[in-house]
A and B are shown apart, each in its own frame.
Chain A
C-alpha cells in the first residue's frame, strides 16, 4: 500500500511537471536525465539559459532518434537559488526518480551540496560551469574553464597589450575569487610584473567609491577584476562614471559569463579584456548552427552565455559517452568518458581529460566591444593544469575531495 501510494504521488508529480513544461509524456523506457538548476531566485540569470541549453541539447538528441534507440526524458527541478533545496532535489532525483545522470549545480556551494549524495547513490554527475578548480572525484565530470586555463591566457595578453608592470586585483570574496586571485598573482609575477594590492569584496558589496579612490592612490597600470554577480557589476558602472576608463585599463575573468556585458552600456563595457571558452561573436560554423537552433527554439539568441554553452556541451559529451559505451550503466559510461572522448561544441572542441575528469578546451581572448565580445585570438586545447597538479584519478580512483591548489 505504502509503496503504491508513494509511486503514485511521485509519478503524478513528474507528470504534472512534464505537462507544465510542455513536454510530451515520455515512453516507459525513456532515459532519464536529471537537472537541478536555479531557474528562479538571484542566480537565475545563470540558471535559466543553462536550463534552455540543456533542453535544446536533449531535443537535438531526441530528434536524431534518441540515445541507444530510446528517447531522453528530462526530470528538472528549480532550486530557487536556495542551497538547501539542492540536496533535497538531489535526493529526489536519485531515490524517487532514479535518473541515469544528473547535470546541474551552478555555484560551488551547490555542487558540494549534492556531489556526495550523487557519489553515494552511484549516479553519474556533470557539473558544467566555469569554477575554481581542484575537484577530484571519479563520479563527476566538469567541463567549465578553470582559473589556470583562463588566467594563463588572459594575464600575459592584457599586460603586453597595455605595457603594464603594476597590477591591482579586485576579487569576489569567496572560493572562486580567492583562488583566481592567487593564480593572477602568480602569472603577473611570471610575466615580470608586480601585484600592488589584492582587495576582496563579498558578493553583496555594491558601493565601490572608496575602492576607486584607493586604486587611484596606488596608480597601477592595469586592474584585473574577477568580480561576480549583479552587485559587483556596479563596480564597472562606477569606474566608468568616475571617468577612470580612459586612465587605467581593465581585465576580468568573470564579466560576461552571465551576459553582464549586455547590461552595461557600450561606453561602460568597451575595451575590457576577457578570456572564455565561448562568445556569441565566435565566427565558426558550429556556433552559427547553434545560434540558429537556439533562435528557432526560443525566439531569439540573446540569452546564450558561457555556462549555457558549457551545459550544452556537457549533455553532448555525456550522450557521446553513452553511445560509445552502448549502455547507461555508470561504470561503463565513466570508462567511455575516460577514453578521452571529444565533442564539437559551439565553443570549439571539448575533450575529457581522463586524469582529472576536467576538460581540455579552447580559450578565446576577447575584448568587449559594443555589448558583444570580439574574439582577438584563440588558444587551442588548453589543459586544466591547475587541477592536473593535484588530481590523478588514474592513479587514485577512490580520491574524493576538492583540493586547494598550492601555488
Chain B
C-alpha cells in the first residue's frame, strides 16, 4: 500500500518538476531562475530541519556560507570542480554534526538552541569580515574579508576543467540537484527515521521514553539539513562567481526563516515555493523606486503570521484537491492537515 503511494508520488513529482523546469524559462530568464532554484534548495534545507525535525535553527545561513566558501577555497586550490563540490557538502555536514552533537547532547531546546545557532553564525560572519589581511590564506586562496573571494574555477564537466557548466546548463543542473534533493528528503521522511523524527518533533519526552535516542536522531537531522544547505551554497558560489561574508549574515538567516513560514512549515514544497517566490519578488521590487522593499517584505511577514500562519502550501494543496476531487469520495484521513507531511500534495 505504502509502496504504491510512493511510486505514485514519485511519478507526480517528476512530472510536475519536468513541467516546471521546462515552462519557467519561457517566463523568467534562466539566470534569475537558477538562483531561485538554489534558494529553493536552501529553503528546503531549513524546511526539513525545522518543519519536520522541530529544530529552529537561526543559523542555516552559516551552513550555506560555509558550503560556498568551502567550494571557492577548494576550487582555487584544486582547479577542478568535482572534489570541491563534494567537500562543500561534507564540510558543512561535518561542522553541523559537531555543533549538533554539542547542542543536543547538552539538551538545549527551543529558544536557547536558536540563540546558539545565531551566535555561531555571527561568529563566522565577524571572522570572515576580519580576514582582509594578507595573513589569511588557505593554500592559494586569500579569504579576502569583506570583499570576499572572486575568480575561482566554476563548475565543469567532471574530469574536464575547461568545459564549464554555465548559463542554461547550470540552470538545468541546479534544477536536477533540487529535484534529487527533494526526492531524497521525501524518501527520508517516508522511512522509519523520518516518521520517528516527526514523532520527536511532536513530543520529545514520549519519544525518549519509548527508547529512541533523541539527541542522536536530532543530530542526524540537523546534519542532513546542513549538507543540503552546503550544496546550495556551492551552487550559489558557481552562480554568483563570488562569495562574500554576507552569505553568513543575519539577514540571510532571516530570509530563510521567512521563506519557510510563508511557504508553509511542515511541508516539503512550501519552503521551496516560498524561497523562490519571495526572492523573485525582491528582484522585481529592485526595478521600481516608489516603495522601500523591506516595507513590503515586513508587511508580508506580519500579515502571514496573523492571518495565514500555516503558509501558502496548505492553501494551494487544498485548492488543488478541491479541483481534482470534485466529489469527496471519502473523508481525508489527514484532516488535521497543514502540519502533516503529506498535506502538501505532489506538486
Q: Name A's B-contacting residues (CB within 8 A).
A: 1-2, 5-6, 9, 13, 16-17, 20-21, 39-40, 77-80, 82-85, 87-89, 91-92, 95-96, 107-109, 112-113, 116-117, 173-175, 177-178, 200, 202-204, 401, 404
- B133, CB-defined interface residue at 8 Å: yes
CB neighbours (8 Å) of B145 from chain A are 173-175, 178, 202
Assembled-state Cα–Cα distance A363/B150 (Å): 31
Q: How far is the CB of B61 from chain A (nearest CB, A)?
A: 13
In the complex, 19 of the A-B residue pairs with CB atoms within 8 angstroms, ordered by the A residue number, are: A2-B25, A13-B284, A16-B288, A17-B287, A20-B289, A21-B289, A77-B287, A78-B287, A80-B285, A84-B240, A85-B282, A92-B29, A109-B146, A112-B148, A112-B242, A113-B242, A174-B132, A175-B146, A178-B134
Q: Interface extent on B, as a size class?
A: 35 or more
Q: CA of A190 to CA of B282 in the docked complex: distance in angstroms?
A: 50
CB distance from B113 to the nearest CB of A (A): 25
Residues of A within 8 A of B129 (CB): 173-174, 202-204
Task: Please tell me if the beta carbons of A78 and B147 are within 8 angstroms of each other in the complex.
Answer: no
B251 CB to nearest A CB, Å: 9
Contact with A along B272-316 (1 / 0, CB 8 A): 000000000011111111101100000000000000000000000
Q: Which 8 pairs show the lowest CB-CB distances between chains A and B?
A: A174-B146, A2-B26, A112-B150, A91-B31, A202-B129, A175-B147, A109-B147, A78-B286
**Which of B133, B150, B293 has a CB less than 8 Å from the CB of A113?**
B150
B223 / chain A contacts, CB cutoff of 8 Å: none
Minimum CB distance partner of B246 in chain A = A83
Partner of A78, one of B134, B146, B289: B289
Query: B276 → chain A, closest Cβ, in Å?
Result: 14
Chain B, range 164-192, C-beta contacts under 8 Å to A: none
- Extra pairs beyond A83-B244, A87-B242, A173-B132 (9, CB < 8 Å): A17-B288, A39-B289, A84-B236, A87-B241, A92-B29, A95-B29, A96-B29, A109-B147, A113-B241
A1, A85, A88, A175: which contacts B31 (Cβ < 8 A)? A88
Question: Is B151 at the interface (CB under 8 A from chain A)?
Answer: yes
Complex contact A40–B293 (CB within 8 A): yes
Let me know if B254 is at the binding interface, CB within 8 A: no
Shortest CB-to-CB span from B294 to chain A, Å, is: 8
Nearest opposing residue in chain B for A1, CB measure: B26
CB of A40, distance to nearest CB on chain B (Å): 6
Task: Say whether chain A's binding surface is mostly helix, strand, loop, or mixed.
Answer: helix
- Tell me if B32 is interfacial: C-beta within 8 Å of chain A: yes
Residues of A within 8 A of B287 (CB): 13, 16-17, 77-78
CB of B144 within 8 A of chain A?
Answer: yes
In the assembled complex, the Cα of A82 lies from the Cα of B293 at a distance in Å of: 12
B241 touches A178 (CB 8 A): no
Report chain B residues within 8 Å CB of A2: 25-26
**Can you name the residue of chain A whose Cβ is closest to the Cβ of B243?**
A83
CB of B221 within 8 A of chain A?
A: no
- Scoring B132, B244, B285 by chain A CB atoms within 10 A of each residue's CB, the highest score goes to B132
Chain A neighbourhood of B292, CB < 8 A: 40
Within 8 A of A (CB), among B16-37: 25-27, 29, 31-32, 35
Is the Cβ of A113 less than 8 Å from the Cβ of B29? no
> Which residues from chain B contact A5 at a C-beta distance below 8 Å?
26-27
Interface: B217 (CB within 8 A): no
B130 within 8 A of A: yes
CA distance A152 to B208 in the complex (A): 69
Partner of A6, one of B26, B35, B130, B282: B26
B150, A85: Cβ atoms closer than 8 Å = no
- A84 adjacent to B35 (CB under 8 Å): yes
B126 close to chain A: CB less than 8 A? yes
Residue from A16, A83, A107 having most chain B Cβ neighbours under 10 A? A83
Question: Chain B's nearest CB lies how many Å from the CB of A116?
Answer: 6
**Whole-angstrom CA separation of A112 from B149 in the bound complex:** 9
Proximity bits, B230-262, A CB within 8 Å = 1, else 0? 000000100111101010000000000000000
B32 cross-chain contacts in A, Cβ below 8 A = 88, 91-92
Residues on the B chain within 8 Å of A109, using CB: 146-148, 242, 244
Interface mask (B207-240 → A, CB under 8 Å = 1, otherwise 0) = 0000000000000000000000000000010011
Cα–Cα distance between A202 and B239 once the two chains are bound (Å): 27
Among A2, A78, A88, A91: residue with most chain B CB under 10 A:
A88
How far in angstroms is the closest Cβ of chain A from B289? 6
| B293 proximity list for chain A (CB < 8 A) | 40, 80
Q: Is the CB of B35 within 8 A of A88?
A: yes
What is the minimal beta-carbon distance from A253 to any residue of chain B, in angstroms?
16
Nearest A-chain residue to B240, judged by Cβ = A87
Chain A residues near B151: list those with CB within 8 A.
112, 116, 401
A174 to B: closest C-beta gap in Å: 4
- Chain B minimum-CB-distance residue to A115: B150
Partner of B286, one of A85, A112, A116: A85
